[in-house]
Every structure is written in C-alpha cells, then in structure tokens.
Structure 1
C-alpha cells in the first residue's frame, strides 16, 4: 500500500538475532530507513532455534503487513518463504550470514544494509518459483535455492559453524575436502514421469537458481522465475577425478562424457540403493532412500531492484 493512498504502509521484520552482533543498532538502522521512505516503524519478530522463523512469520502475517522483510541467512529466508508462499504479501530480503544465496541470485546487495533497505521499500514486486522437496518422512518442505542428497548434504553437515563465521565460503571448502572421497550410491531418476538415468552417483541436486555455492554457476541456465527446476547429477569419474568435475563446471559441460548431468523439468523423482543424507537450502534434514522435487511456479512475491536481474 502506497503512502499516497491515505496511510503509511506497514512492514513486519523477521530477524535472526544471532546474525547481528549489535542488535539494537541494526534495529535502529532499519527503523530509520522505514521512516525515511515514509513507512510506519517496523513490527519486529525474532526467530528461534525450534523452527528457524516459521512461528515468527505466522505471527507477522497475522498483523496484515504490506511487506515482510527477512533479516537472516538462507535458513531464515526459507522458513519465512514457506509461510508467505501463496499469499499476496511481498518478501523483502535484508541479507545476513555466509550464504545469502537467494539474495545473490536476485541481485540484492549482501554487504550493504542501506542498499537492501532501499530495494525492500522502493523496489518492484516480482513472482518467483518455490521449490518443493519430499523425502522418506513424507513431509513436503519448501526451498528457494536448492535441495539435494549426497555430497552437498554431507558438506553442509560437516561445515563448522564457527569457522564459517570467520572465513565464510572457505569453511565449505574445508568440509568438502573431508567428504568428497566418500563412496557413491546407486540412483534411478525420473524427470516429469519418464526415467532418464540410473547408475552410480555422488550427488543429486535440484536447483531453483543457477548459482548455489560461492557464485559458481552449477545449474547452467537455471532461472528462478521460469516454472522449472534444474536437476544436476554428479557422477563418479575415476579417470578425470575432481579436476574433471572442475572442468565440467567451468566449461558448462553436461550429459556427454562429463561428470555432471543436467535435466530441466517440473518434477523429479529418485530412488537410491541405500539411505543418503538430504538437505534443503543448506540445512541437513536426515537420511532418505526416495524423494521428489517439484516446483510451485510464481509461488512467492519478492521485492527486487529496478530493473530486476533474475538468475
């Protein structure tokens, strides 16, 4: 709601307080930004460890805000998005944390709160896709960037939280070094109802965005508003090894002699020959032998820069 239509619009801010060393100063900066752009002082809702922001988002939505802003990492964004999905309330991203993968893919600054605030208060609303993942426990979980099983989940589980705060992406490299030589697993994969691949595998990753780690474009051509997911499968390659994988990523090779296979679609189903760890948006969610990845096209409204850059 525009202030020119008779009232100042309202914003609810969902914040993970552990991400902000000077919590009071951060709140003051957001409040100052709201006043500068003629919005009411923000309504504040803090997350907790139990649900990463789901309860806070539901409480915020009950206040009928014109905008909900998220201040936290990828896990907080995912939790809030799962609540806002399917509503007409836009989501503004005020990034904090190591990853901020959705913000990076949407062209929202991750190192300038003032710039992110300007986008949230003055930007345009755009509908983007929401990924959906279901594993052995039967619970459907929303994700905004990626969901997968295998190597990616192992790396996320092994990443040291304190090290991540100190060195950022380097913590994932350390974790990757400890996990990349683990044994693979057998997989049978179907895409939109048709079987497309079977054999040995190290990772199955459904991507809603092209860049899923350290600004590396792993899912070539993925767009967050095209109504599809891109599924990337990492196969063992005894000849080329991890050097070959790096070349495949750099040259965008897929599905030939490469270590990486990629398929585009709206629904992916997989069966594994043993339980393997799963993750969504970087959060491990337990082991699974079966799974489904789907997409809710245009399921979430977000505030984007003008002009928007979607990836």
Structure 2
C-alpha cells in the first residue's frame, strides 16, 4: 500500500516545492518517487542559469539532483527509499572507509542512520544538501573534518533537528539506538556492547590525555587495565547481564569523571552518587578481588 502523504512530503523535501506540485508530479508518475523527482528536475533544469545571482531553489534543485542520482547508485532493489547493507558496503568502499572503522559509525551518526547498514533517502539527501555536498570526494573530505570536530567536542556543527552543537556524547548515546534491531528493544547483548566499547573508549582516552596534557605513560596503561577489568566483570557475571541504555550512557560519564582522572584508585567515585547498579557492582568487584 503506497503511503501517498509520505511520498508527497518526501517530494517536497527533495524539491522545495508545495504539496500541490508534489501531488501533480507523483500522480503523473503513478507515485514513483524517483521518476517524479527526475521529471521535476528535468523540466526545471533550463530555468537554472549558472550565472544566476540567486542561491535559492534553482541551485538547491541542482544539488538535489546530484544527490538523488548518487543515492540511487546504492539504493535497495526492493525499497528505493533506503540503502540496505549491500549498498552501504559499496558506499563505504567508495568513501574509502573500512566498515569496522569508527568513521563508519560517525557517518551513520551524521546521516541519522536508524540501524546498522541502513541509510534513508530523505536524511541522506537533506543532510548532504544542507552542507552543500553532492559528490563522494567532498563527502570523504567533509567526514574527516566532522569526525575530528565531534571527537574533540569543538562544536562547529549543529544537529539539524535540535539546533544544538554536536558533541561526542551525542555520538556515544546514538550508538545504543543504532545497535538496536527494533524500536521497542530496551537492552543490548553484552558481547555487542563490549565490541563497541572497544571501538569508542580508546578514542575517549586519547582525547582526554590530549586535552589535559597529562603524562600518559603509566596512566594510559592503567586505564586500559580498568577497561579490561570492566569487560571481565561483565563477561564473567552469572547470569550474564544485558546492557540498558542507562548503563551504556552513564558508563561514559563514569569513565570520563572517575576512571580517566585516577585509574589507580578511582578516587572520584562516590558510592552515594546515582550510578547504575552495574557500575557500583564493578567497583565492588575491583575491591573484592584486590584490584583497587
């Protein structure tokens, strides 16, 4: 069943036109969104002059058409409004990003990917259009800058939905939702979360010691030991735990505020603070096993 209202909204977002215009082109194309958008841009291309002083819809439309064509290179054969896993792997390959590289996660965060291996047409086009980027080379260059900006909390970019400066904590929290297999899923498997902690925690460590100009030699080794203690604690718990969003999100703060400043004694830890139970149990585990 075709959702005509959703297709009209998508057409309007891609072309900057009214719902009336959207309805006319979609009806003519029998609600084939790709055909309708291509028809619109083909008809209006002649109205766009390269020497025009206007930076309005004509320039925006040209950018949109490039992005529509690019998205179509990767789109799923059964659902033209998404890039699925095969298309995502091809897209990453064209961007020269290994799927296991943290930049693949940064890209998903930037384009608001709803789940692993999926990109949505409307987000892909509207976000790249916002940054005036419409080719692979420019995307690769932009992503390098965006990744560093987010990693070091420079605040140069804003979330297009909230208009708030984008920072690493947002990327970190986004990861939990990104890893879920359904909207109503509340917890993540321990092995999956550990694999992503292994990806993200070393970045947090590097940034922390860079920003604080702290002698890193022994401290970094001890931080790594504390991280491995955390993994051992979770993996060897009986029964094996699952990770809630609260545990995922708050562990970032625990790591930043307690582990990194003093990985030897965890002197900033306050048992009366509102840490998740798993964090409190972890500190108790360290004490019981003479690890602290």
TM exceeding 0.5: no
More strand by share: 1
User: Which structure has more RCO (C-alpha within 8 Å, separation ≥ 6)?
Assistant: 1
TM-score, normalization by structure 2: 0.28
Q: TM-score, normalised by structure 1?
A: 0.27
Q: Bigger radius of gyration, 1 or 2?
A: 2
Higher fraction of helix? 2
